[in-house]
Amino acid sequence: MKHIIQRCLIGIILLQGFSVYAQKNTVYFNETVKSRIRVIIDNDFGGDPDGLFQLVHHILSPSVEIKGIIGSQHYKDGFYGSPGTVAYACTKVNELLSIMQLTGKLPVYEGGASGLADIKTPIVSDGAKAIVQEAMREDTKMPLYVVCGAGLTNIASAYLLEPRIAKKIILVWIGGAEYQGLALPPPKGKNLEYNLGIDIKATQVIFNVSDISIWQVPRDAYRQALYSYSELVYKFKANGSTGEFLIENLEDLMKRSKRSLGEAYVLGDSPLVLLTALQTSWESDPASCKYAIKRAPGINDSGLYEETSEGRKIRVYTSLDTRLMLDDLVAKLVLLNMKK
């Protein structure tokens, strides 16, 4: 009985901290953890629902100060019947923020409505301008990560608008095919990786033209974030309104796909949280994950890698701590929804 009471008291204390953050967009655990990095989140929230899982996780992470959420464009034909527009992406973000009682607490921006026409002309959008504005601040030394779970339209446009941002940000990107010598492509896998294909010109800007620091999570790495559908339903559906929202969106995709996706699902955007929020206390870095240092390849007009001796060195992640990644999200949802 004593241990039960102790656990309940601990839960109440943690809940109070979570409530402060979830209700008011301030730091929870304010006597233990404070924000130490800035993050701008750029994702196609109207497409694959893994982006919504990632967004919830970032919102509930106290070491992260979210400076903006950008809804990005998807393929023109959408995703299993849902539109691929930036307006729809922002609608899904605002639905989630409403459920989490955060309406108006976090800035939401529309990204560019289409991909780049060439590698010199930016698509001016609220999202691209928000990246430039935050990156060019001189009143803070807190590191700024731009995390992208889809195409690179907005970060490429931001760079074209203001190339000086390259020295002021780290880009964490979910996308790109496997690297020869590091991993093999999946059986019958397409040469053109899905996220890279959303905007090839934008990827050329980032890899071929810019000198932005890149932490890349290519296809072989993000596919490691594989969880059974049963596990996700068990851990999330009865876990408050936020968990229910996530599973409803996943179930909706299952129905729209005519139940053709099997019984395991890749939360491929969640490494964006793992690599930013879940870093070590000292000598901060996502130490439980492994990466290789590679020269950035050139990206050709087909969206494929071309070796070059001129490419800058980038991180290419090869192994992810998926246990830490999922368990942390589940724990945060449990604490958020505990009752006194």
Query: 145 and 39 in contact (C-beta within 8 Å)?
Result: yes
Give me the chain's average pLDDT, please.
91
Query: 23 and 15 in contact (C-beta within 8 Å)?
Result: no
Mean pLDDT of 285-312: 97
Q: Which two tokens stand for residue 26?
A: 């301030």
Mean pLDDT of 154-162: 99
Q: Which two tokens stand for residue 11?
A: 């839960």
- The pLDDT tens digits for 184-202 are 999 988 999 999 999 999 9
| CA atoms in the 13 A half-sphere facing the CB of 203 | 30
The pLDDT assigned to 258 comes to 86
Mean pLDDT of 237-249: 94
How would you classify the pairing of strands 298-299 and 305-306?
antiparallel
- The pLDDT tens digits for 24-77 are 333 345 568 889 999 999 999 998 999 999 999 999 999 999 999 999 999 988
The pLDDT assigned to 30 comes to 54
The pLDDT confidence band at residue 13, using thresholds 50, 70 and 90, is very low
The yes-or-no verdict on residue 12 having pLDDT over 80 is no
- The pLDDT tens digits for 103-128 are 999 999 999 999 999 999 999 999 99
The yes-or-no verdict on residue 11 having pLDDT over 90 is no
Sign, CA torsion 222/226/229/230? negative
| Domains, in order of start, for the chain | 33-337 (3.90.245.10)
Mean pLDDT of 216-242: 96
The pLDDT assigned to 28 comes to 44
CA 307 to each of CA 179, 211, 296: distance values in angstroms, whole numbers, following the listed order? 10, 17, 8
The yes-or-no verdict on residue 163 having pLDDT over 60 is yes
How would you classify the pairing of strands 264-266 and 290-295?
unpaired
